[in-house]
């Protein structure tokens, strides 16, 4: 009641909480009139419904009503300003901006671009997924499209609800403005409040959508979940390389790239494969022996064919000069024994290399030394390509690797020394081949 009295005093007087009012200075009689009206308003809640209704009707019809409403609206406006000014202007929420940007980037919001095809492409590029994953792509697209659809449906629902509610509140306030002082500004402010509330709900929707997209994306990208065994062909290529470089199975970057291309996998997958292979081979050499022999035999057959072809070719194309032998550039020995081609091939499969033995390395390449020896025991230096070089080159070509004959496990069960370190293993990934460049895809120099 004290408040009521205070209000009456302030209205009847001049100020309210220090705010001068623009109420025209009333005459004494009118002042009494207003005082009566206010008294009626203030006591209306204490009365019965019927009484209140009657009073309300009386007040609505009162000639001073518009002026009184105007004054009350002004008071409300002024008292509310200081409180609301800080709330009215919210800075743009950075989180909302982030969500909006993300949804746009993922192709969920904004114009539809092939149901997130760009996102799929980006995701694909990120993991280097091959073209054979089109099923997963379409699956991803379908799910993304589903998310997009749900998002837009929900968004529409929210917008509709927001509009309906706003309209409802506005109508309500306009209706109420007949009986209580509600200014248009207040209505506007109320609308803003409603919009803010709905916008916070909208943000939750956006957040949930983003989470759904993230989950979908992570599932799509998570290679562990989607682990597929490499094709048989790819595994064979990798194994061939591994066992033909057993003494130092560290493919260079170029070799990795070449292998990746051949196997239709990524370079990092090649690295992974070699990492796994090395460690698993090292852990259980016995288990891999059979596999090693298999690939060694395979390599040897290929090599033998290449050797035969190269020998034939060199015999046909070059004069049979006994002095056309060569010194193997990257071996620390020279050959002085003579063996014929049959011996060579025999050696390849029996694991012997005639009278020569290469300490610490049993590479198939040693057998080439036998071949070399059959032509010449002395070195040829400088002047152009030697017959041995051409053979070696031919073999390299036939195998796809410049020194593909190295490290054949048929001769050496494994390339590890007693310490579990690969023979001659130089700093991994920094190896370079002295014969790099002649159809070479890797650069081992271990031998």
Partner DNA sequence: GTCTATGATTAACC
Partner DNA sequence: GGTTAATCATAGAC
By C-beta, is 94 or 420 nearer to DNA? 420
Smallest distance, DNA to C-beta of residue 169, A: 50
Residue 420 touches DNA, criterion: CB under 7 A: yes
Smallest distance, DNA to C-beta of residue 393, A: 26
Residue of 347, 360, 346, 333 lying closest to 423 (CA atoms): 360
Collapsing DSSP states into helix, strand and coil, what is residue 339? Answer: coil
> CA geometry: angle at 323 spanning 381 and 383, to 5°?
30
Smallest distance, DNA to C-beta of residue 400, A: 20
The answer to whether the beta carbons of residues 404 and 345 sit under 8 Å apart is: no
Residue 362 CA to residue 417 CA, distance in Å, equals 12
Smallest distance, DNA to C-beta of residue 235, A: 6
By C-beta, is 65 or 219 nearer to DNA? 219
By C-beta, is 68 or 238 nearer to DNA? 238
Residue 305 CA to residue 299 CA, distance in Å, equals 10
Residue 417 touches DNA, criterion: CB under 7 A: no
215 to 234, contacts with DNA by CB under 7 A? 222-230
Residue 243 touches DNA, criterion: CB under 7 A: no
Residue 293 touches DNA, criterion: CB under 7 A: no
Residue 195 touches DNA, criterion: CB under 7 A: no
Residue 278 touches DNA, criterion: CB under 7 A: yes
Can you read off the two tokens belonging to residue 247?
């003494």
Collapsing DSSP states into helix, strand and coil, what is residue 19? Answer: strand
Among 84, 282, 341, 393, binds DNA (CB under 7 A): 282
424 — alpha (psi -120 to 50), left (phi > 0) or beta?
left
Residue 261 touches DNA, criterion: CB under 7 A: no
Among 178, 180, 280, 329, binds DNA (CB under 7 A): 280
How would you class 411 by CB atoms within 10 Å of its CB: exposed for 0-12, middle for 13-18, buried for 19 or more?
A: buried
Residue 253 touches DNA, criterion: CB under 7 A: yes
Phi and psi at 421, nearest 5°, equal -105, 140
Smallest distance, DNA to C-beta of residue 416, A: 10
How would you class 9 by CB atoms within 10 Å of its CB: exposed for 0-12, middle for 13-18, buried for 19 or more?
A: middle
Among 184, 275, 322, 360, binds DNA (CB under 7 A): 275
386 — alpha (psi -120 to 50), left (phi > 0) or beta?
beta
Smallest distance, DNA to C-beta of residue 330, A: 20
Smallest distance, DNA to C-beta of residue 247, A: 13
Q: Where are the alpha helices (DSSP H) in 89-244?
A: 94-105, 117-127, 134-176, 184-221, 232-244
By C-beta, is 110 or 130 nearer to DNA? 130
Residue 269 touches DNA, criterion: CB under 7 A: yes
- Chain residues binding DNA by CB under 7 A are 222-230, 235, 250, 253, 268-269, 271-276, 278-280, 282, 420, 422, 428-429
């Amino acid at each position: 009641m004290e408040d009521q009295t205070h209000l009456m005093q302030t209205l009847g007087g001049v100020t309210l909480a220090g705010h001068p009012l623009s109420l025209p200075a009333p005459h004494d009689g009118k002042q009494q009139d207003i005082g009566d009206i206010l008294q009626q308003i203030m006591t209306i809640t204490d009365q019965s419904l019927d009484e209140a209704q009657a009073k309300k009707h009386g007040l609505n019809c009162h000639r001073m009503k518009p002026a009184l409403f105007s004054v009350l609206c002004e008071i409300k406006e002024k008292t509310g300003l200081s409180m609301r000014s800080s709330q009215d202007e919210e800075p743009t929420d950075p989180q909302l901006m982030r969500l909006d940007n993300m949804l746009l980037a993922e192709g969920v919001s904004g114009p539809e671009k092939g149901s997130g095809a760009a996102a799929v492409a980006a995701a694909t590029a990120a993991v280097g997924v091959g073209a054979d994953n089109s099923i997963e792509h379409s699956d991803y697209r379908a799910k993304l499209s589903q998310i997009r659809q749900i998002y837009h449906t929900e968004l529409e629902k929210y917008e509709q609800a927001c509009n309906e509610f706003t309209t409802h509140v506005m109508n309500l306030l306009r209706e109420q403005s007949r009986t209580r002082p509600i200014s248009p500004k207040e209505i506007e402010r109320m609308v803003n409040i409603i919009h803010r509330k709905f916008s916070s709900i909208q943000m939750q929707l956006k957040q949930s959508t983003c989470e759904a997209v993230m989950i979908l994306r992570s599932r799509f990208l998570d290679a562990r979940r989607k682990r597929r065994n490499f094709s048989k062909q790819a595994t064979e290529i990798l194994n061939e390389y591994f066992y033909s470089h057993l003494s130092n199975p560290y493919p260079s970057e170029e070799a990795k790239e070449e292998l990746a291309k051949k196997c239709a996998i990524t370079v990092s997958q090649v690295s992974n494969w070699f990492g796994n292979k090395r460690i698993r081979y090292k852990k259980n050499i016995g288990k891999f022996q059979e596999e090693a022999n298999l690939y060694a035999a395979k390599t040897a057959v290929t090599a033998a064919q290449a050797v035969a072809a190269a020998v034939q070719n060199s015999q046909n194309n070059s004069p049979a000069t006994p002095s056309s032998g060569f010194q193997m550039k990257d071996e620390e020995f020279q050959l002085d024994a003579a063996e014929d081609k049959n011996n060579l091939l025999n050696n390849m499969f029996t694991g012997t290399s005639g009278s020569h033995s290469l300490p610490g390395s049993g590479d198939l390449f040693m057998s080439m030394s036998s071949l070399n020896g059959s032509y010449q025991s002395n070195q040829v230096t400088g002047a152009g390509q030697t017959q041995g070089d051409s053979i070696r080159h031919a073999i390299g070509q036939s195998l796809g690797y410049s020194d593909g004959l190295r490290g054949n496990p048929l001769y050496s069960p494994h390339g590890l020394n007693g310490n579990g370190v690969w023979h001659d293993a130089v700093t991994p990934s920094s190896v370079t081949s002295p014969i790099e460049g002649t159809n070479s895809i890797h650069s081992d120099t271990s031998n």
